[in-house]
Protein backbone atom coordinates (compact mmCIF):
# COMPACT_ATOMS: atom_id res chain seq x y z
CA UNK A 1 0.00 0.00 0.00
CA UNK A 2 1.34 3.43 -0.93
CA UNK A 3 1.71 5.80 1.99
CA UNK A 4 0.60 9.40 1.76
CA UNK A 5 4.09 10.71 1.04
CA UNK A 6 4.27 8.83 -2.28
CA UNK A 7 0.60 8.37 -3.12
CA UNK A 8 -0.02 11.57 -5.04
CA UNK A 9 3.35 11.53 -6.81
CA UNK A 10 2.62 8.03 -8.06
CA UNK A 11 -0.88 8.95 -9.17
CA UNK A 12 0.44 11.83 -11.28
CA UNK A 13 3.06 9.65 -12.92
CA UNK A 14 0.43 7.06 -13.83
CA UNK A 15 -2.12 9.55 -15.15
CA UNK A 16 -3.55 8.51 -18.51
CA UNK A 17 -4.66 11.86 -19.80
CA UNK A 18 -8.32 10.84 -19.79
CA UNK A 19 -9.17 13.45 -17.18
CA UNK A 20 -12.26 15.34 -18.29
CA UNK A 21 -10.96 15.90 -21.81
CA UNK A 22 -14.30 16.93 -23.21
CA UNK A 23 -14.84 19.63 -20.57
CA UNK A 24 -11.28 20.89 -20.94
CA UNK A 25 -11.66 21.21 -24.68
CA UNK A 26 -14.63 23.49 -24.14
CA UNK A 27 -12.68 25.72 -21.74
CA UNK A 28 -14.67 24.59 -18.71
CA UNK A 29 -13.20 23.90 -15.29
CA UNK A 30 -12.34 20.26 -14.81
CA UNK A 31 -14.37 18.96 -11.90
CA UNK A 32 -15.09 15.74 -10.06
CA UNK A 33 -18.33 16.11 -8.11
CA UNK A 34 -18.80 14.12 -4.90
CA UNK A 35 -22.20 13.81 -3.28
CA UNK A 36 -22.15 14.00 0.52
CA UNK A 37 -24.85 14.03 3.19
CA UNK A 38 -24.03 17.50 4.48
CA UNK A 39 -21.43 20.23 4.27
CA UNK A 40 -18.24 19.35 6.19
CA UNK A 41 -18.71 20.87 9.65
CA UNK A 42 -15.15 21.75 10.59
CA UNK A 43 -12.17 22.42 8.30
CA UNK A 44 -9.86 23.26 11.19
CA UNK A 45 -8.32 19.85 12.02
CA UNK A 46 -7.73 20.89 15.62
CA UNK A 47 -11.50 21.04 16.10
CA UNK A 48 -12.82 18.39 13.69
CA UNK A 49 -14.36 15.22 15.11
CA UNK A 50 -16.95 14.10 12.56
CA UNK A 51 -15.93 11.57 9.91
CA UNK A 52 -16.74 13.72 6.86
CA UNK A 53 -14.67 16.70 8.05
CA UNK A 54 -11.76 14.46 9.02
CA UNK A 55 -11.74 12.81 5.59
CA UNK A 56 -11.83 16.16 3.77
CA UNK A 57 -9.12 17.59 6.05
CA UNK A 58 -6.78 14.75 5.04
CA UNK A 59 -6.85 16.22 1.53
CA UNK A 60 -6.01 19.77 2.70
CA UNK A 61 -3.46 19.16 5.46
CA UNK A 62 -0.42 16.95 6.04
CA UNK A 63 0.23 15.20 9.35
CA UNK A 64 3.25 13.79 11.14
CA UNK A 65 1.99 10.22 11.27
CA UNK A 66 -0.27 7.93 9.26
CA UNK A 67 -1.24 4.26 9.64
CA UNK A 68 -0.50 1.12 7.64
CA UNK A 69 -2.91 -1.71 6.81
CA UNK A 70 -2.44 -3.19 10.31
CA UNK A 71 -3.17 0.24 11.83
CA UNK A 72 0.38 0.62 13.09
CA UNK A 73 1.80 4.18 12.98
CA UNK A 74 4.08 4.94 10.03
CA UNK A 75 5.79 8.18 8.98
CA UNK A 76 3.95 10.75 6.91
CA UNK A 77 5.89 14.00 7.36
CA UNK A 78 8.32 12.72 9.98
CA UNK A 79 10.20 9.79 11.37
CA UNK A 80 10.65 9.42 15.12
CA UNK A 81 12.98 8.13 17.79
CA UNK A 82 12.03 7.25 21.37
CA UNK A 83 14.86 8.63 23.45
CA UNK A 84 13.28 7.62 26.77
CA UNK A 85 9.85 6.39 27.88
CA UNK A 86 8.72 10.03 28.11
CA UNK A 87 10.86 11.67 25.41
CA UNK A 88 10.25 11.42 21.63
CA UNK A 89 12.22 13.12 18.87
CA UNK A 90 10.57 13.70 15.46
CA UNK A 91 12.56 14.52 12.33
CA UNK A 92 10.81 16.01 9.33
CA UNK A 93 11.68 14.23 6.08
CA UNK A 94 9.78 16.72 3.91
CA UNK A 95 9.22 20.47 3.99
CA UNK A 96 6.12 20.95 1.82
CA UNK A 97 4.91 24.47 1.23
CA UNK A 98 1.72 25.65 2.82
CA UNK A 99 -0.86 26.94 0.39
CA UNK A 100 0.04 30.53 1.32
CA UNK A 101 3.65 29.93 0.23
CA UNK A 102 5.60 29.33 3.45
CA UNK A 103 7.52 26.05 3.95
CA UNK A 104 6.41 23.73 6.73
CA UNK A 105 9.00 23.40 9.49
CA UNK A 106 9.25 22.04 13.00
CA UNK A 107 8.02 25.43 14.30
CA UNK A 108 4.68 24.85 12.58
CA UNK A 109 4.35 21.39 14.07
CA UNK A 110 5.07 22.76 17.55
CA UNK A 111 2.65 25.66 17.11
CA UNK A 112 -0.12 23.31 15.97
CA UNK A 113 0.17 21.02 18.98
CA UNK A 114 0.73 23.84 21.45
CA UNK A 115 -2.50 25.44 20.26
CA UNK A 116 -4.36 22.16 20.76
CA UNK A 117 -3.06 21.99 24.33
CA UNK A 118 -4.21 25.56 24.97
CA UNK A 119 -7.45 25.36 26.96
CA UNK A 120 -8.62 28.59 25.35
CA UNK A 121 -8.92 26.87 21.97
CA UNK A 122 -11.21 24.20 23.38
CA UNK A 123 -9.93 21.47 21.07
CA UNK A 124 -11.69 18.10 21.53
CA UNK A 125 -8.31 16.45 20.87
CA UNK A 126 -6.67 18.02 23.92
CA UNK A 127 -7.61 15.09 26.14
CA UNK A 128 -5.78 12.49 24.05
CA UNK A 129 -2.62 14.67 24.13
CA UNK A 130 -2.81 15.76 27.75
CA UNK A 131 0.37 13.87 28.73
CA UNK A 132 2.49 16.32 26.72
CA UNK A 133 4.34 18.60 29.14
CA UNK A 134 6.73 20.34 26.72
CA UNK A 135 7.35 20.68 23.00
CA UNK A 136 10.88 21.78 22.16
CA UNK A 137 12.00 22.85 18.67
CA UNK A 138 15.63 21.90 18.04
CA UNK A 139 15.94 23.21 14.48
CA UNK A 140 13.85 23.47 11.30
CA UNK A 141 13.67 19.69 10.97
CA UNK A 142 13.66 18.36 14.54
CA UNK A 143 11.48 18.76 17.60
CA UNK A 144 11.06 16.92 20.88
CA UNK A 145 7.88 15.97 22.72
CA UNK A 146 8.19 15.43 26.48
CA UNK A 147 5.47 13.52 28.38
CA UNK A 148 4.54 13.51 32.04
CA UNK A 149 4.34 9.70 32.01
CA UNK A 150 4.95 6.90 29.50
CA UNK A 151 2.37 6.33 26.74
CA UNK A 152 3.11 3.49 24.32
CA UNK A 153 0.38 4.75 21.97
CA UNK A 154 1.69 8.32 21.87
CA UNK A 155 3.10 8.27 18.32
CA UNK A 156 -0.26 7.16 16.91
CA UNK A 157 -1.94 10.20 18.47
CA UNK A 158 -0.01 12.66 16.28
CA UNK A 159 -2.37 12.47 13.31
CA UNK A 160 -3.75 16.02 13.35
CA UNK A 161 -3.16 18.17 10.29
CA UNK A 162 -0.33 20.69 10.65
CA UNK A 163 -1.20 24.40 10.39
CA UNK A 164 1.19 27.31 9.64
CA UNK A 165 2.54 29.01 12.76
CA UNK A 166 2.24 32.53 11.36
CA UNK A 167 -1.48 32.10 10.78
CA UNK A 168 -2.02 30.42 14.16
CA UNK A 169 -0.33 33.42 15.79
CA UNK A 170 -2.64 35.75 13.85
CA UNK A 171 -5.70 33.71 14.90
CA UNK A 172 -6.55 32.91 11.32
CA UNK A 173 -10.06 31.45 10.81
CA UNK A 174 -9.04 28.05 9.41
CA UNK A 175 -12.64 26.88 9.50
CA UNK A 176 -13.59 29.54 6.94
CA UNK A 177 -10.37 29.53 4.90
CA UNK A 178 -8.35 26.38 5.56
CA UNK A 179 -4.66 26.62 4.68
CA UNK A 180 -2.60 23.46 4.88
CA UNK A 181 0.20 21.78 2.95
CA UNK A 182 -1.74 18.80 1.63
CA UNK A 183 -2.27 17.81 -2.01
CA UNK A 184 -5.47 19.87 -2.32
CA UNK A 185 -5.91 23.54 -1.60
CA UNK A 186 -9.11 25.29 -0.63
CA UNK A 187 -10.95 27.27 -3.32
CA UNK A 188 -14.34 28.17 -1.86
CA UNK A 189 -17.17 27.03 0.38
CA UNK A 190 -20.86 27.91 0.41
CA UNK A 191 -23.94 26.14 1.74
CA UNK A 192 -24.24 24.55 -1.70
CA UNK A 193 -20.70 23.20 -2.18
CA UNK A 194 -17.10 22.95 -1.01
CA UNK A 195 -14.46 23.26 -3.73
CA UNK A 196 -10.88 21.98 -3.40
CA UNK A 197 -8.27 21.90 -6.16
CA UNK A 198 -5.66 19.24 -6.88
CA UNK A 199 -2.17 20.15 -8.15
CA UNK A 200 -3.24 19.12 -11.66
CA UNK A 201 -5.95 21.85 -11.53
CA UNK A 202 -8.79 19.35 -11.24
CA UNK A 203 -11.42 20.58 -8.79
CA UNK A 204 -12.98 18.28 -6.21
CA UNK A 205 -16.47 19.59 -5.57
CA UNK A 206 -18.30 18.27 -2.50
CA UNK A 207 -22.04 18.82 -2.93
CA UNK A 208 -24.35 18.29 0.08
CA UNK A 209 -27.52 16.39 -0.76
CA UNK A 210 -29.31 15.28 2.37
CA UNK A 211 -31.73 12.79 0.81
CA UNK A 212 -30.05 9.55 -0.28
CA UNK A 213 -32.51 8.88 -3.10
CA UNK A 214 -31.96 12.35 -4.50
CA UNK A 215 -28.19 11.76 -4.40
CA UNK A 216 -28.61 8.65 -6.53
CA UNK A 217 -30.90 10.49 -8.98
CA UNK A 218 -28.36 13.28 -9.33
CA UNK A 219 -25.67 10.69 -9.98
CA UNK A 220 -27.74 9.11 -12.75
CA UNK A 221 -28.45 12.53 -14.30
CA UNK A 222 -24.73 13.36 -14.36
CA UNK A 223 -24.97 16.11 -11.72
CA UNK A 224 -22.69 14.04 -9.45
CA UNK A 225 -19.84 11.67 -10.26
CA UNK A 226 -19.15 9.75 -7.04
CA UNK A 227 -21.06 8.71 -3.92
CA UNK A 228 -19.22 6.99 -1.08
CA UNK A 229 -21.29 5.23 1.60
CA UNK A 230 -24.34 6.78 3.33
CA UNK A 231 -26.95 4.95 1.23
CA UNK A 232 -29.39 2.34 2.43
CA UNK A 233 -28.54 -1.26 1.50
CA UNK A 234 -31.62 -1.31 -0.73
CA UNK A 235 -30.41 1.75 -2.65
CA UNK A 236 -26.93 0.27 -3.11
CA UNK A 237 -28.46 -2.95 -4.41
CA UNK A 238 -30.63 -0.91 -6.80
CA UNK A 239 -27.58 0.98 -8.07
CA UNK A 240 -25.69 -2.27 -8.55
CA UNK A 241 -28.35 -3.47 -10.99
CA UNK A 242 -28.19 -0.36 -13.20
CA UNK A 243 -26.10 -0.30 -16.36
CA UNK A 244 -25.39 3.42 -16.00
CA UNK A 245 -23.81 3.13 -12.53
CA UNK A 246 -20.92 1.13 -11.09
CA UNK A 247 -20.62 -0.11 -7.48
CA UNK A 248 -17.33 -1.18 -5.92
CA UNK A 249 -16.67 -2.63 -2.47
CA UNK A 250 -13.90 -2.86 0.12
CA UNK A 251 -13.72 -4.52 3.54
CA UNK A 252 -14.58 -1.98 6.23
CA UNK A 253 -13.77 -1.39 9.89
CA UNK A 254 -17.02 0.17 11.15
CA UNK A 255 -18.13 -1.95 14.12
CA UNK A 256 -21.89 -2.41 14.58
CA UNK A 257 -23.15 -3.58 17.96
CA UNK A 258 -26.16 -3.89 20.26
CA UNK A 259 -25.61 -2.21 23.62
CA UNK A 260 -27.06 -3.11 27.02
CA UNK A 261 -27.92 -1.05 30.06
CA UNK A 262 -26.04 -2.84 32.83
CA UNK A 263 -27.93 -0.87 35.46
CA UNK A 264 -31.13 -2.61 34.34
CA UNK A 265 -31.94 -5.48 36.72
CA UNK A 266 -32.73 -7.86 33.87
CA UNK A 267 -29.94 -7.00 31.45
CA UNK A 268 -27.36 -7.09 34.23
CA UNK A 269 -27.87 -10.88 34.19
CA UNK A 270 -25.49 -12.67 31.83
CA UNK A 271 -28.14 -15.26 30.93
CA UNK A 272 -30.40 -12.53 29.56
CA UNK A 273 -27.63 -11.03 27.46
CA UNK A 274 -26.64 -14.47 26.19
CA UNK A 275 -30.24 -15.23 25.20
CA UNK A 276 -30.31 -12.07 23.11
CA UNK A 277 -26.95 -12.83 21.50
CA UNK A 278 -27.86 -16.42 20.64
CA UNK A 279 -31.30 -15.33 19.41
CA UNK A 280 -30.08 -12.95 16.65
CA UNK A 281 -29.12 -14.54 13.34
CA UNK A 282 -26.39 -12.11 12.25
CA UNK A 283 -25.33 -13.94 9.10
CA UNK A 284 -28.91 -14.13 7.83
CA UNK A 285 -29.21 -10.37 8.35
CA UNK A 286 -25.91 -9.74 6.54
CA UNK A 287 -27.12 -11.84 3.62
CA UNK A 288 -30.60 -10.31 3.48
CA UNK A 289 -30.00 -6.66 4.34
CA UNK A 290 -26.41 -6.07 3.27
CA UNK A 291 -26.44 -8.55 0.38
CA UNK A 292 -23.44 -10.23 1.96
CA UNK A 293 -21.38 -7.00 2.07
CA UNK A 294 -20.39 -7.19 5.74
CA UNK A 295 -18.47 -9.65 7.87
CA UNK A 296 -19.24 -11.04 11.30
CA UNK A 297 -17.60 -9.12 14.12
CA UNK A 298 -16.03 -10.39 17.31
CA UNK A 299 -13.97 -7.65 18.91
CA UNK A 300 -14.34 -3.93 18.40
CA UNK A 301 -11.09 -3.99 16.39
CA UNK A 302 -10.97 -5.83 13.07
CA UNK A 303 -8.87 -9.04 13.07
CA UNK A 304 -6.15 -7.49 10.88
CA UNK A 305 -5.50 -4.76 13.45
CA UNK A 306 -2.18 -5.18 15.28
CA UNK A 307 -4.13 -5.86 18.47
CA UNK A 308 -7.17 -7.48 16.86
CA UNK A 309 -8.28 -11.04 17.64
CA UNK A 310 -8.75 -13.39 14.71
CA UNK A 311 -10.28 -16.27 16.66
CA UNK A 312 -13.34 -14.55 18.15
CA UNK A 313 -16.37 -13.85 16.00
CA UNK A 314 -19.21 -13.17 18.41
CA UNK A 315 -22.07 -15.51 19.21
CA UNK A 316 -23.39 -18.12 16.78
CA UNK A 317 -27.11 -18.25 16.07
CA UNK A 318 -28.47 -20.86 18.50
CA UNK A 319 -32.23 -20.29 18.93
CA UNK A 320 -32.71 -23.46 20.99
CA UNK A 321 -30.04 -22.30 23.44
CA UNK A 322 -31.59 -18.81 23.53
CA UNK A 323 -35.04 -20.24 24.29
CA UNK A 324 -33.60 -22.47 27.01
CA UNK A 325 -32.01 -19.45 28.69
CA UNK A 326 -35.23 -17.44 28.43
CA UNK A 327 -37.28 -20.30 29.91
CA UNK A 328 -34.81 -20.58 32.80
CA UNK A 329 -35.10 -16.84 33.51
CA UNK A 330 -38.89 -17.04 33.45
CA UNK A 331 -38.87 -19.89 35.95
CA UNK A 332 -36.54 -18.04 38.31
CA UNK A 333 -38.38 -14.71 37.95
CA UNK A 334 -42.00 -15.31 36.94
CA UNK A 335 -42.72 -11.60 37.42
CA UNK A 336 -40.75 -10.96 34.21
CA UNK A 337 -43.36 -12.72 32.08
CA UNK A 338 -45.95 -10.58 30.30
CA UNK A 339 -49.50 -11.60 29.41
CA UNK A 340 -48.26 -13.34 26.27
CA UNK A 341 -45.83 -15.48 28.26
CA UNK A 342 -42.78 -13.57 27.04
CA UNK A 343 -39.99 -11.45 28.50
CA UNK A 344 -40.49 -7.86 27.33
CA UNK A 345 -37.60 -5.51 26.52
CA UNK A 346 -37.34 -2.03 25.04
CA UNK A 347 -35.02 -1.36 22.07
CA UNK A 348 -34.20 2.19 20.99
CA UNK A 349 -32.97 3.17 17.56
CA UNK A 350 -32.82 6.16 15.25
CA UNK A 351 -35.51 6.96 12.70
CA UNK A 352 -33.20 5.94 9.83
CA UNK A 353 -35.24 3.48 7.68
CA UNK A 354 -32.44 0.89 7.56
CA UNK A 355 -32.02 0.98 11.34
CA UNK A 356 -35.77 0.58 11.82
CA UNK A 357 -35.79 -2.35 9.41
CA UNK A 358 -32.95 -4.01 11.33
CA UNK A 359 -34.87 -3.46 14.56
CA UNK A 360 -37.96 -5.20 13.17
CA UNK A 361 -35.81 -8.16 12.13
CA UNK A 362 -34.36 -8.41 15.65
CA UNK A 363 -37.90 -8.19 16.93
CA UNK A 364 -39.07 -11.06 14.70
CA UNK A 365 -36.09 -13.29 15.46
CA UNK A 366 -36.24 -12.76 19.22
CA UNK A 367 -39.98 -13.39 19.40
CA UNK A 368 -39.23 -16.98 18.37
CA UNK A 369 -37.16 -17.50 21.52
CA UNK A 370 -39.61 -15.87 23.91
CA UNK A 371 -38.46 -12.24 23.92
CA UNK A 372 -40.90 -9.46 23.02
CA UNK A 373 -38.88 -6.52 21.73
CA UNK A 374 -40.62 -3.16 21.89
CA UNK A 375 -39.02 -0.99 19.20
CA UNK A 376 -38.83 2.77 19.84
CA UNK A 377 -37.44 5.01 17.09
CA UNK A 378 -36.53 8.68 17.46
CA UNK A 379 -34.86 11.43 15.47
CA UNK A 380 -31.09 11.22 15.76
CA UNK A 381 -30.69 14.03 18.32
CA UNK A 382 -33.27 12.61 20.72
CA UNK A 383 -32.04 9.04 20.29
CA UNK A 384 -28.38 9.89 20.82
CA UNK A 385 -29.11 12.04 23.88
CA UNK A 386 -31.12 9.20 25.44
CA UNK A 387 -28.22 6.80 24.88
CA UNK A 388 -25.68 9.17 26.49
CA UNK A 389 -28.02 9.70 29.44
CA UNK A 390 -28.57 5.97 29.95
CA UNK A 391 -32.29 6.13 29.14
CA UNK A 392 -32.58 2.74 27.43
CA UNK A 393 -32.57 -1.01 27.91
CA UNK A 394 -31.17 -1.96 24.49
CA UNK A 395 -29.89 0.13 21.59
CA UNK A 396 -27.68 -0.23 18.53
CA UNK A 397 -24.92 2.00 17.17
CA UNK A 398 -21.59 1.67 15.35
CA UNK A 399 -18.03 2.77 16.04
CA UNK A 400 -16.57 4.34 12.90
CA UNK A 401 -12.93 4.57 11.81
CA UNK A 402 -11.38 3.24 15.03
CA UNK A 403 -7.58 2.87 14.80
CA UNK A 404 -6.15 3.12 18.31
CA UNK A 405 -6.84 0.43 20.95
CA UNK A 406 -7.18 3.07 23.64
CA UNK A 407 -10.80 3.16 22.42
CA UNK A 408 -11.36 0.39 25.00
CA UNK A 409 -10.64 2.75 27.89
CA UNK A 410 -13.07 5.28 26.41
CA UNK A 411 -15.85 2.74 25.83
CA UNK A 412 -15.56 0.05 28.51
CA UNK A 413 -13.65 1.41 31.52
CA UNK A 414 -15.85 1.78 34.59
CA UNK A 415 -14.45 5.31 34.98
CA UNK A 416 -15.62 6.26 31.46
CA UNK A 417 -19.34 6.51 32.12
CA UNK A 418 -20.74 9.67 30.43
CA UNK A 419 -19.82 12.49 30.60
CA UNK A 420 -16.32 11.17 31.37
CA UNK A 421 -16.32 8.84 28.38
CA UNK A 422 -18.50 6.68 26.15
CA UNK A 423 -19.28 3.76 28.47
CA UNK A 424 -22.95 4.32 27.70
CA UNK A 425 -24.02 0.89 28.92
CA UNK A 426 -22.53 1.51 32.38
CA UNK A 427 -20.49 -1.69 31.98
CA UNK A 428 -18.39 -2.47 35.05
CA UNK A 429 -15.98 -5.38 35.28
CA UNK A 430 -12.94 -5.46 37.54
CA UNK A 431 -11.01 -7.81 35.28
CA UNK A 432 -11.67 -5.66 32.18
CA UNK A 433 -10.63 -2.54 34.11
CA UNK A 434 -7.39 -4.22 35.18
CA UNK A 435 -6.55 -5.25 31.61
CA UNK A 436 -7.32 -1.76 30.29
CA UNK A 437 -5.11 -0.08 32.86
CA UNK A 438 -2.31 -2.61 32.57
CA UNK A 439 -2.28 -2.10 28.78
CA UNK A 440 -2.23 1.65 29.27
CA UNK A 441 0.88 1.48 31.45
CA UNK A 442 3.00 -1.01 29.51
CA UNK A 443 5.63 0.33 27.12
CA UNK A 444 5.85 -2.76 24.91
CA UNK A 445 3.46 -2.78 21.95
CA UNK A 446 3.84 -6.57 21.82
CA UNK A 447 2.71 -6.81 25.43
CA UNK A 448 -0.03 -4.28 24.78
CA UNK A 449 -1.32 -6.42 21.93
CA UNK A 450 -1.47 -9.44 24.24
CA UNK A 451 -3.37 -7.46 26.87
CA UNK A 452 -5.84 -5.94 24.41
CA UNK A 453 -6.50 -9.36 22.91
CA UNK A 454 -7.15 -10.76 26.39
CA UNK A 455 -9.44 -7.80 27.03
CA UNK A 456 -11.48 -8.47 23.90
CA UNK A 457 -11.91 -12.09 24.93
CA UNK A 458 -13.06 -10.90 28.35
CA UNK A 459 -15.53 -8.47 26.77
CA UNK A 460 -16.99 -11.34 24.74
CA UNK A 461 -17.06 -13.66 27.77
CA UNK A 462 -18.99 -11.07 29.80
CA UNK A 463 -21.00 -9.92 26.76
CA UNK A 464 -20.26 -6.23 27.22
CA UNK A 465 -22.11 -5.68 23.92
CA UNK A 466 -23.42 -7.95 21.19
CA UNK A 467 -20.88 -7.63 18.36
CA UNK A 468 -22.76 -7.61 15.07
CA UNK A 469 -20.62 -6.98 11.97
CA UNK A 470 -18.09 -4.81 10.18
CA UNK A 471 -19.93 -3.17 7.29
CA UNK A 472 -18.11 -2.92 3.95
CA UNK A 473 -17.11 0.40 2.43
CA UNK A 474 -18.57 1.09 -1.01
CA UNK A 475 -18.63 3.69 -3.75
CA UNK A 476 -21.24 4.26 -6.45
CA UNK A 477 -19.89 6.02 -9.53
CA UNK A 478 -20.76 6.95 -13.07
CA UNK A 479 -19.10 4.72 -15.72
CA UNK A 480 -16.83 7.64 -16.68
CA UNK A 481 -15.09 7.46 -13.30
CA UNK A 482 -11.82 5.54 -13.62
CA UNK A 483 -9.38 4.35 -10.97
CA UNK A 484 -11.26 5.28 -7.80
CA UNK A 485 -9.72 3.50 -4.80
CA UNK A 486 -11.54 2.66 -1.57
CA UNK A 487 -9.99 2.22 1.87
CA UNK A 488 -11.16 0.25 4.89
CA UNK A 489 -11.58 3.38 7.03
CA UNK A 490 -13.56 5.32 4.40
CA UNK A 491 -10.92 8.00 3.72
CA UNK A 492 -11.21 10.08 0.53
CA UNK A 493 -7.60 9.59 -0.61
CA UNK A 494 -8.86 7.89 -3.77
CA UNK A 495 -9.99 11.33 -5.00
CA UNK A 496 -6.34 12.31 -5.43
CA UNK A 497 -5.87 10.07 -8.45
CA UNK A 498 -9.36 9.35 -9.77
CA UNK A 499 -9.97 10.26 -13.41
CA UNK A 500 -12.97 10.95 -15.63
CA UNK A 501 -13.08 9.78 -19.22
CA UNK A 502 -15.33 10.99 -22.02
CA UNK A 503 -17.25 7.72 -22.18
Predicted pLDDT of residue 401? 82
Same domain, 167 and 286: no
Predicted pLDDT of residue 503? 60
Same domain, 402 and 262: yes
Question: Residue 309 in contact with residue 453, Cβ under 8 Å?
Answer: yes
Q: Identify the domain boundary among 124, 156, 180.
A: 180
C-alpha to C-alpha distance for 105 and 111, rounded to whole angstroms? 10
* Residue ranges, the chain, pLDDT below 70: 1-28, 503
Same domain, 300 and 389: yes
CATH number reported for the structural domain that contains residue 143 in this entry: 3.90.76.10
CATH number reported for the structural domain that contains residue 207 in this entry: 3.40.190.10
Domain annotation covers residue 144: yes
Q: Identify the domain boundary among 126, 147, 180.
A: 180
Same domain, 312 and 434: yes
Write out the residue range of the structural domain in which residue 95 sits: 42-180
Q: Identify the domain boundary among 133, 158, 180.
A: 180
C-alpha to C-alpha distance for 232 and 327, rounded to whole angstroms? 36
- Closest listed residue to residue 37, CA positions, set 25, 21, 50: 50
How many independent structural domains does the chain possess?
Answer: 3
C-alpha to C-alpha distance for 188 and 259, rounded to whole angstroms? 41
Same domain, 371 and 467: yes
How many other C-beta atoms can be found within 10 angstroms of the C-beta atom of residue 368? 12
Same domain, 339 and 448: yes
Domain annotation covers residue 401: yes
Same domain, 230 and 377: no
Contacts of 306 (CB under 8 A, 6+ apart): 70, 71, 72, 445, 449
Domain annotation covers residue 186: no
pTM of the predicted protein model: 0.86
Domain annotation covers residue 390: yes
Same domain, 329 and 343: yes
Same domain, 14 and 146: no
Same domain, 489 and 433: no
Same domain, 46 and 30: no
C-alpha to C-alpha distance for 243 and 390, rounded to whole angstroms? 47
Domain annotation covers residue 185: no
Same domain, 69 and 204: no
CATH number reported for the structural domain that contains residue 387 in this entry: 3.10.105.10
What are the residue ranges of helices labelled H in 90-206?
106-117, 165-169
Model pLDDT for residues 479-502, shown as the tens digit of each residue: 999 999 999 999 999 999 999 987
Domain annotation covers residue 157: yes
Amino acid sequence: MLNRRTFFKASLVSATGLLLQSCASQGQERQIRVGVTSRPRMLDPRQATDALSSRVNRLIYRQLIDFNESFEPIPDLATWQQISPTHYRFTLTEFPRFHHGMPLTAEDVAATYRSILDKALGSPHRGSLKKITKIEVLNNAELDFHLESPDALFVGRLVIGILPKDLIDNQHAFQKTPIGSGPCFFKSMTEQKLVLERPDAVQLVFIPVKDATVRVLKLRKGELDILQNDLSPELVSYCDKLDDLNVQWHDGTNFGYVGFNFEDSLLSQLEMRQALAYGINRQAIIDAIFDGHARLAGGLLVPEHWSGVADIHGFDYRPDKAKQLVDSLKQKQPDLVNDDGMIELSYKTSSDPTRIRLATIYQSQLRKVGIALKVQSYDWGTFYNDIKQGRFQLYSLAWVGVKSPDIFQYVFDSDAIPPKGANRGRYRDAQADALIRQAGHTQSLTKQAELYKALQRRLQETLAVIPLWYEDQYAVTRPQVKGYQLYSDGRFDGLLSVELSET
